[in-house]
Structure 1
Amino acid sequence: MATNNEYKITPQIPISSGFDSHTTALEVVKDIDLSGKVVIVTGGHSGIGLEATRALSVAGATVIVGARSVEQAKAATVDIVGVEVETLDLMDPNSIDVFAQKFLDTGRALNILIANAGIMAPPLVRDSRGYESQFATNHLGHFQLTLRLWSALKKAENARVVSLSSTGVRFGGVDFDDPNFDKREYDKWRAYGQAKSANALFAVELDKRGYADGIRAFSVHPGRIDSELARFLSSQERAIGGEYKTTEQGAATSVWCATSPLLGDKGGVYCLDCDIAEAISDFALQGMGQQLTGVLPWAADREMAKRLWLMSEEMTGVKLED
């Protein structure tokens, strides 16, 4: 717990972790013991989520996978020890509440929450509230889930929340005046950039608000992965250049943020390649193949993070005191 200490901002500066872009999730947990720890991984049954589930299980954790299809998730994780699967649809507020309450009813502390599930660049779809699907799924769903699970995270006394962002932040930040594309024409990449920027900003404000309860937060750019996340992309979009990571490498930074002792007194930072990323001040939007070497201002701005939190409370109707 950190109740007696003043919150200090963690510098957005690399700390020389000893790992790099080629490190795998299993290499990250080689000397980590998570016996007795409980982890939730949303979308932990496919792509980098599955590899995170596998690595955390190997380290001894009980991993709860939240998935829209329980059958598919059980089939994908059948060979992994200590996995529980529960229904979770991040576009459905009721599904989120049911999932969270079912966990709270077990009385267990939640040591790690990895907000991994997401969608990328689909055609315009709105949820039952009229919210654009990428913002609703990638950000608002995880915002609601985290707040609903707050008491379990607090109970752990040293919990971590990992929010999956992306190099997609380069497509732009959060449009606070029109987050759901009600006034402007829908652009799937700007919507993706907005959602991924929100994922990064969420970790900034969450770390500040959770500090006193022993909850630290991190955002992650996992690297470019050829996975089911790209299911809405054309063959031409998939063929755009850029170095790809394996899924094992793509899961490494999430697992590092969730478990590394080097981050014990840190939080609220954007990470990539198993290290804290550098802050970069400018970036030319030159297309999908371009890779970011750090975090852009609109994905790390503390005032924007606070504004996003307040807007998310209003949009979801969920607050910490609820």
Structure 2
Amino acid sequence: MTWEQQHKLGSGFGAHSTARDVLVGIVLSGKSALVTGGYSGLGLAGVQALVEAGARVVVPARRVDVAREALAGLTGVEVFELDLGDLESVREFSDHLLGEGRTLDIVINNAGIMACPETRVGPGWEAHFATNHLGHFALVNRLRPLFTEETRVVSVASSGHFLSGIRWDDLHFNDGYDGWLAYAQSKTANALFAVHLNDVVGVRAFAVHPGSILTPLQRHVPREEQIAQGWMDENGTPAEGFKTPEQGAATAIWAATSPLLDGLGGLYAQDCDIAEHATGDDMLVGGVKPWAVDPEDAARLWGISTELTGQGA
């Protein structure tokens, strides 16, 4: 990946395309996918589209009973317990899949938390960084023996990365907590993970901004704050420019399956195409900031993540 490659390809899809739209003509029979957080919001919409295209899908879930209820009726879907904020849980889950000797053709790192109250997990790690980034980092690296040469890994990032690069001097907000900055840092980390995984490790990877969607991800954001932010009106109707979950899932599914991306990787996508450079600070317009695709920062973050998780070496 180079900064110069970070431009639209002319995919023919856009902000209103759905996950089903981008899979028209694509047959996934015999393919195996893994979607974290695949039982609510855009994750569930993505799983439904993958199954309709013929894929078998593994859905790791912290709330197994809730996941099985949400996914009931979908054929070819398996649910296993996984808490991304607990590295022992990551180890147990990945060991189970490794023991079965299956292959994984698609991995979508979709699960995440947003703007939650200050929470510490593991050895005192800040919860956004631990769950959104470190958990996925450890999971993907443990599962690498199951990948083929064609496997694609998609990290669901966000235009929230506009608000913060990596806070190298205080990754875990020990000097004062801000939930939005913690979320923002984790989304930058998601994007940088894809850069290094693709360009250095050699696993085809992309990061995506799904768009603005009202889903359970906003459960820690009070309704009055969502109204004040202009995300919805007082009746709960989403603001103009917000997507449905089916539209929000589309860019990750496109990045995971589009033939147009053969031979490419390490890029940041939006609206079912490669994103343009962000020239302003309007997150609804989107694009990608340079700190989210910087290879030197990606390498530095990879090293730190390896030290913290024991994976990725």
Q: In structure 1, what is the equivalent of residue 301 of structure 2?
A: 308
- How does the TM-score come out when normalised to structure 2? 0.94
- How does the TM-score come out when normalised to structure 1? 0.91
Question: How many pairs are equivalent?
Answer: 303
Distance 1:244 1:50 in 2: 18
**Contact 2:302-2:312 at 8 Å conserved across structures:** no
Distance 1:47 1:170 in 2: 23
Deviation at 1:292, TM superposition (A): 3.6
Instruction: Give unmatched runs, 5+ long, in structure 2.
Output: 231-238
Instruction: Give unmatched runs, 5+ long, in structure 1.
Output: 1-6
Q: Does 1:225 align with 2:219?
A: no
**Counterparts of 1:272-283 in structure 2 under 5 Å?**
272-280=270-278, 282-283=279-280
Q: Evaluate the alpha carbon distance shift between residue 205 and residue 93 of structure 1 in structure 2; reply closer, same or farther with a 3 A threshold.
A: same
Distance 1:190 1:139 in 2: 14
Distance 1:202 1:268 in 2: 9
Distance 1:255 1:54 in 2: 11
Distance 1:166 1:9 in 2: 18
State which of 152, 159, 163 in structure 1 corresponds to 2:151: 159
Q: In structure 2, what is the equivalent of residue 168 of structure 1?
A: 160
Q: In structure 2, what is the equivalent of residue 3 of structure 1?
A: none
Deviation at 1:237, TM superposition (A): 2.3
Q: In structure 2, what is the equivalent of residue 296 of structure 1?
A: 289
Deviation at 1:259, TM superposition (A): 0.4
SS in 2 for 1:270: strand
**Contact 1:159-1:216 at 8 Å conserved across structures:** yes
SS in 2 for 1:149: helix
The one-letter amino acid of 1:83's match is: V
The one-letter amino acid of 1:176's match is: W
Q: Does 1:136 align with 2:130?
A: yes
Distance 1:76 1:238 in 2: 26
Deviation at 1:10, TM superposition (A): 7.6
RMSD value over aligned CA atoms? 1.4
Percent of matched pairs sharing the same residue? 49
State which of 236, 240, 253 in structure 1 corresponds to 2:251: 253
Q: Does 1:66 align with 2:60?
A: yes
Q: In structure 2, what is the equivalent of residue 148 of structure 1?
A: 142
The one-letter amino acid of 1:109's match is: T
**Counterparts of 1:258-269 in structure 2 under 5 Å?**
258-269=256-267
Q: Does 1:189 align with 2:177?
A: no
SS in 2 for 1:220: strand
